[in-house]
Amino acid sequence: MFNQHRRSIPRKQLRKPSYTSLNTGASSARWKFGLSESALTKLKLLLGVFIAIVALASAILSLLKIYASDEDTFKRYADRAVAWHYKTDMWNGYFSNWFEGIVNIAELNLSDTSMTLTLQASGNVIDGAMSEKRLCGIFPPQDFKLVRGTISHFGNSADIQIFEIVQGYTKVYAEFSLHHDGLVLEVAPKRNSRWFGRDTVRLIHHPQSTIDTGFEAMKGNCKEEEGRYKKLLKDSFEELVKKGALHRRPISGQPAGGASAPKK
């Protein structure tokens, strides 16, 4: 009778619990102080942020002390920091498609172009000039047009405008994006300046050059165009004189009519 009421238990239910099942709560195990691993990680992160804030505040206080004691020293340090951030040394000087002092110049893949740039940077602002044969054709022809622009953060690229002041107004002729590739400056026309073409121009930075040496190197770049323009003005003047619309200016000491003074 007793054997009839005995219940048989399947063998699979009699297996010992596995090691994994015994450690199910291991991921949520707590440390001696009652902190979980995730809470401890967050605490470390907050501590790191706090240390960074304290270090930044200490640096700011140090700068304020320098400013209070010596404004010139503070300005010098501030200028150095800005120059480092925008890499102003890379933007100062003369840029063209040739410099004989570079031994591996053929490897730099410089462009066959008449474009040259002379730039000077202060903070994130660029000033200077650009010379290019297509710019020589803009009335009136000059050896260069003016440049203005801004440098991006960390100083690897910049945006510039080519402009001129005409009758008291700023006339913008073209816009370019600049990008540094080592010693090479890449000059790419923007979409609204495709009359310059679509190709990126590669120019080399002349070491130790300045904006002044760049202006000196640009002299005479538009000499032919200026000569044709002066000849055109002269021919137009002569034509107007023949028609009687204009009169020649009298030579100093000679009467307006051109005749010599009567004898007494």
**pLDDT at res. 18:** 53
pLDDT tens string 90-104: 999 999 999 988 888
Between residues 194 and 116, the one the model is more confident about: 116
pTM over 0.85: no
What is the arithmetic mean of pLDDT over 30-35?
Answer: 54
Q: pLDDT by residue (tens digit) across 135-192?
A: 999 988 999 999 999 999 999 999 999 999 998 999 999 999 999 998 999 999 999 9
pLDDT band at 63 (very low <50, low <70, confident <90, very high): low
Query: Which is higher by pLDDT, 238 or 58?
Result: 238
* pLDDT reading at 17 higher than 70: no
Residue 39 has pLDDT above 70, yes or no: yes
Q: Which two tokens stand for residue 134?
A: 């297509």
Q: According to the model, what pLDDT value does residue 11 have? A: 53
The pLDDT-based confidence of 29 (bands split at 50, 70, 90) is: very low
Task: Using a pLDDT cut of 70, give the percent of the chain over it.
Answer: 76
pLDDT for the residue 28: 47
The pLDDT-based confidence of 67 (bands split at 50, 70, 90) is low
